[in-house]
Amino acid sequence: MIERIIVFDIDATLILSGGAGARALDRAFEEVTGAADAMEGVPFHGMTDCAIISEMAKRKLGARLSETNREEVRRLYAAYLEPELAASPGFEVMAGVPELLDTLAADSRVLLGLATGNFEETAMLKLERGGLAGYFRFGGYGTDSESRPELTRIAVERGRAIAGDGAGVTAPLVYLVGDTVFDIRCGNAAGARTVGVATGITSEAELLAEKPYAVLPDLADKNRFYEILELDGAPPG
Neighbours of 57 (CB within 10 A): 22
Binding-site size for Mg ion (CB under 5 A) equals: 4
State the burial class of residue 237 (Cβ atoms within 10 Å of its Cβ: 0-12, 13-18, 19+): exposed
Q: Beta strand pairing status for 4-8 and 173-178?
A: parallel
Residues constituting the chain: 237
Does residue 179 bind Mg ion (CB under 5 A)?
yes
Q: Does 210 bind Mg ion (CB under 5 A)?
A: no
144 binds Mg ion (CB under 5 A): no
Which residue's CB is nearer to Mg ion, number 12 or number 32? 12
Contact mark string toward Mg ion, 217..236, x via CB under 5 A: --------------------
Report the run of H or E that residue 152 belongs to, with start and end. Answer: helix 148-163
Contact with Mg ion (CB under 5 A): which of 3, 9, 49, 107?
Answer: 9
- Give the binding range for Mg ion (CB under 5 A) out of 11-19, 48-56, 67-75, 95-103: 11-19
Quick check: 12 binds Mg ion (CB under 5 A)? yes
In sequence order, what E strands does 75-120 have? 92-93, 110-115
Is 174 a binding residue for Mg ion by CB under 5 A? The answer is: no
Q: Is residue 11 at the binding interface for Mg ion, with CB under 5 A as the rule?
A: yes
- Helix axis angle for 49-61 and 67-87, nearest 10°, is 110
Closest approach of Mg ion to the CB of residue 10, in Å? 6
Contact window for Mg ion (CB under 5 A) among 89-97, 124-132, 178-186, 226-234: 178-186
Minimal distance, residue 85 CB to Mg ion, in Å: 16
Of the pair 44, 77, the CB lying nearest Mg ion is at: 44
E strand map for the chain: 4-8, 15-16, 92-93, 110-115, 138-140, 173-178, 193-197, 214-216
Residue number with the smallest Cβ distance to Mg ion? 11
Residues 6+ apart with CB under 8 A from 105: 112, 134, 135
172/187 with CB nearer Mg ion: 187
> H-helix or E-strand containing 117?
none
CB of 17 or CB of 33, closer to Mg ion: 17
> Could you give phi then psi for residue 183, rounded to 5 degrees?
-60, -45
CA 187 to chain centre: 12
- Closest separation in Å from C-beta 200 to Mg ion: 6
Q: How far is the CB of 176 from Mg ion (least distance, A)?
A: 12
Question: Which positions lie near Mg ion, rule CB under 5 A?
Answer: 9, 11-12, 179
